[in-house]
Amino acid sequence: MFSIGALSRRTGVKVPTIRYYEQIGLLAPLERTEGNQRRYDQEGLERLGFIRHARDLGLPLEMIRQMLTLDAHDTDQHAEIHALASAHLAEVRTRIARLSKLADELERIITHADTGEEAAGCDVLKALGDHSLCAGTH
């Protein structure tokens, strides 16, 4: 059995976050001691490890909730698990493409800014203040 502190140390998840996961129903203590301390078993440790890793991969809590309701040993549910993971991958790729466009635009602004004329002001600030100076949509 693990205390909430031991669970936190083993998974790297902060105690307030563990309490939050309990509050929203992603994790439940197995039992409480007479002193009302939470106790978790190996399954709770593994579940929190799953949640932590899924969060590290950027999965939203609602998707994690859906995955936790599915049975990895049920072959009928494999397709649903894969569909959830594939949907998240598509979202990650969309965000990467958007971030790449943003990086390109920022690089363009910085590279073409500041001709050295102090009286003209800072071209980076001008570009950030006037979206019409951007090369395209982002």
| Domain of 5, in residue numbers | 1-59
Question: Do 51 and 6 lie in a common domain?
Answer: yes
What pLDDT, on the 0 to 100 scale, is given for residue 116?
A: 58
Same domain, 120 and 76: yes
Domains identified in the chain, total number: 2
pLDDT tens-digit map of 60-86: 999 999 999 887 778 888 888 999 999
Residue 50 within any structural domain of the chain: yes
Nearest C-alpha neighbor of 58 from the set 27, 34, 33, 91: 91
Residue 65 lies in a domain: no
Q: Taking the alpha carbons of 102, 104, 105, 111 in that order, is the dihedral positive or negative? A: positive
Which stretches of the chain drop beneath a pLDDT of 50?
A: none
Asked if residue 64 belongs to a domain, the reply is no
User: So what's the pLDDT on residue 87?
Assistant: 95
